[in-house]
Structure 1
Amino acid sequence: MSTPPVTLTIAGSEATGGAGAQADLKTFQALDVFGVVALTCIVSFDPKADWGHRFVPVEPQVITDQLEAITTAYPAEQLDVVKIGMLGTPATIETVAQAVRERAFGHVVLDPVLICKGQEPGAALDTDNALKEHVLPLATFVTPNHFETLSLSGMDSIDTVEELTEAARRIHEASGAAVLAKGGVRLEGDEAVDVYVDAETTEVLRAPKVGQVPVAGAGCTLAAAVAAFLAQGASPLEAARAAKIFVTAGIERRLSSDAPFDVVWQGAADQ
């Protein structure tokens, strides 16, 4: 019997299961990839405070220990793809960057979780700057959402497909990574539009919008699906196309709860 490829996610735990490491592992399983995880933080929504985030970082040494166990158990020919999600502190970012440099993964898929929206320039800005300085240069594939695309590209606004394409090109030129910039429901029109850019190709990926409200976990799921398809041997463009199809199915079959947001269902593609 053939064994599945192994894919690592370095991400936070999101207690309701809709995003973070939980979404990543469910995506890997649905796409026939054996998933392993190094947790960077514990995130739990607070239903008593308008479902705001409660954030507890994992100690850097504990992150190092997890990554040591994982990379020792699975040699490079077995585990060559890593997906990086929520990191959350400069210390965590430095720890993860060092581990990724030491392993030299073939594919590093970065979901660049930026947290500074401009009103909290202290720790949040320090964290975002550390991510851009230490982790972004290691990425081979980047999947920014609308806000992150604005921040990474330096553009003032992204309201059209043409502007999203220009932003993706800027991020690619600055990082050298393949870029899948997510427009989603943020752009006007009936289609959820993402733009893929690498050194040879620019392609607009389209799917019918499913509602006008973002669905939690879609970004995590998309990046994890890209990682899974890369682990199975797909090219970056093939991985982007397949991941778009996968996450669209998950949004169509999304799960509702008593929380004020719906979440992606990673098993929808099998239904």
Structure 2
Amino acid sequence: MTTSPPPIALTIAGSEATGGAGAQADLKTFQARDVFGMVALTCIVSFDPKNEWGHRFVPVDPQVIADQLEAQFSCYVPDAVKIGMLGTPTTIDTVAGALAGYRPKNLVLDPVLICKGQEPGAALDTDNALKSQILPLASFVTPNHFESMALSGRSAIDDVDDLIAAARTIHEKSGAAVLAKGGVRIAGPDAVDVFYDGTTLEVLSAPKVGEHAVSGAGCSLAAAVTAELAKGASPLDAARSAKEFVTQGIASRLSSNAPFDAVRQLNH
């Protein structure tokens, strides 16, 4: 019996040692959504239990990042690419240069703007580089509550109307489809996200599963969007499917000794 080859998805992201987020969560999501996954590691992040579970952050050498991408794009033509944590302006330069040459048809940006392990000045430089070099390449953007404020220029997002306005602004600035994540940070019984692509506006909601953020939910949502786009789904259908996938993963969360739980990437 012959089978058709699976869609291929690539994540360009950081390693998160406990497996709940980052590249580990992305690869588990790709597997659960029936796509062949690859990862180009950009940094290594490990929580520090001795310092309020902050991030210990180690960037990968830029040449090593470039080598990974060269090997991946030489072997395969990814159907979709996700960008997660990049972490430094130098890494952003390297990734932006590579993607400008390879031009993936679906590029999902999960815009990780702040890393607790960085000094404020370094974090700001990274944020500005991400906005100027990576955001214009994206076809789909998945900002969380804080990132939606930063990318839209809003000082607060307190309700669904604010989230809708932020999604519209981010689309106008980037031209990308936007899935702005409200999650548990907007009051009410439902976890609410907003999809907007310049034509279609849809509020995606599901009953909240607890009132606290779960590690890896944002990574897994963006990775699920990437997987669905790789399979040929429309951006809206990819957003709907990803929302359902992450809601199930949050409901089946894994508890830990840290002050947060981790999402589980469940198969269909």
TM-score range, shorter chain: over 0.9
Residue segments in structure 2 that go unaligned for 5+ positions in a row: none
How far apart, in 1, do the equivalents of 2:227 and 2:4 lie? 16
Are 2:51 and 1:52 aligned? Answer: no
How far apart, in 1, do the equivalents of 2:119 and 2:21 lie? 24
Instruction: Please name the residue that 1:255 is paired with.
Output: 254
How far apart, in 1, do the equivalents of 2:227 and 2:194 lie? 19
TM-superposed deviation, 1:80: 2.6
Instruction: Please name the residue that 1:19 is paired with.
Output: 21
Contact 2:168 2:198 in 1 (8 A): no
Identity %: 71
Which digits, 9 at most, give the CA deviation of each residue in 1:211-232, with x for residues without a partner? Answer: 0000000000000000000000
Of 19, 30, 33, which residue of structure 2 is paired with 1:31?
A: 33
> Number of matched residues?
265
SS of 1:196's equivalent in the other structure is strand
Cα RMSD for the two superposed structures: 1.2
How far apart, in 2, do the equivalents of 1:146 and 1:179 lie? 13
TM-superposed deviation, 1:120: 5.2
Which digits, 9 at most, give the CA deviation of each residue in 1:215-257, with x for residues without a partner? Answer: 0000000000000000001000000000000000000000001
Instruction: Please name the residue that 1:67 is paired with.
Output: 69
Contact 1:7 1:80 in 2 (8 A): yes
How far apart, in 2, do the equivalents of 1:209 and 1:159 lie? 17
Contact 1:116 1:128 in 2 (8 A): no
How far apart, in 1, do the equivalents of 2:198 and 2:146 lie? 23
Q: In structure 1, what residue type is equivalent to 2:30?
A: F
- Deviating above 2 A after TM superposition, structure 1's stretches of 4 or more consecutive aligned residues are none
Instruction: Please name the residue that 1:199 is paired with.
Output: 198
Instruction: Please name the residue that 2:159 is paired with.
Output: 160
Q: In structure 1, what residue type is equivalent to 2:79?
A: D
Instruction: Please name the residue that 1:128 is paired with.
Output: 127
Instruction: Please name the residue that 1:169 is paired with.
Output: 168
SS of 2:185's equivalent in the other structure is coil
Q: In structure 2, what residue type is equivalent to 1:186?
A: R
Which digits, 9 at most, give the CA deviation of each residue in 1:72-126, with x for residues without a partner? Answer: 001x3xx131000000000000100111111111000000000179x95411100
Contact 2:79 2:229 in 1 (8 A): no
Contact 1:116 1:125 in 2 (8 A): no
Contact 2:253 2:264 in 1 (8 A): yes
Which digits, 9 at most, give the CA deviation of each residue in 1:183-224, with x for residues without a partner? Answer: 000001000000000021000000000000000000000000
Contact 1:83 1:223 in 2 (8 A): yes
How far apart, in 2, do the equivalents of 1:171 and 1:116 lie? 21
After superposition, the Cα gap between the structure-2 partners of 1:94 and 1:182, relative to the gap in structure 1 and judged at 3 Å, is: same
How far apart, in 2, do the equivalents of 1:96 and 1:9 lie? 12
Residue segments in structure 1 that go unaligned for 5+ positions in a row: none
Instruction: Please name the residue that 1:139 is paired with.
Output: 138
Give the structure-2-normalised TM-score. 0.97
> What does 1:89-108 correspond to in 2, within 5 Å?
89-108=88-107
Instruction: Please name the residue that 1:216 is paired with.
Output: 215
How far apart, in 2, do the equivalents of 1:146 and 1:133 lie? 20
SS of 2:191's equivalent in the other structure is strand
Contact 2:44 2:58 in 1 (8 A): yes
How far apart, in 2, do the equivalents of 1:116 and 1:52 lie? 9
SS of 1:163's equivalent in the other structure is helix
How far apart, in 2, do the equivalents of 1:116 and 1:20 lie? 12
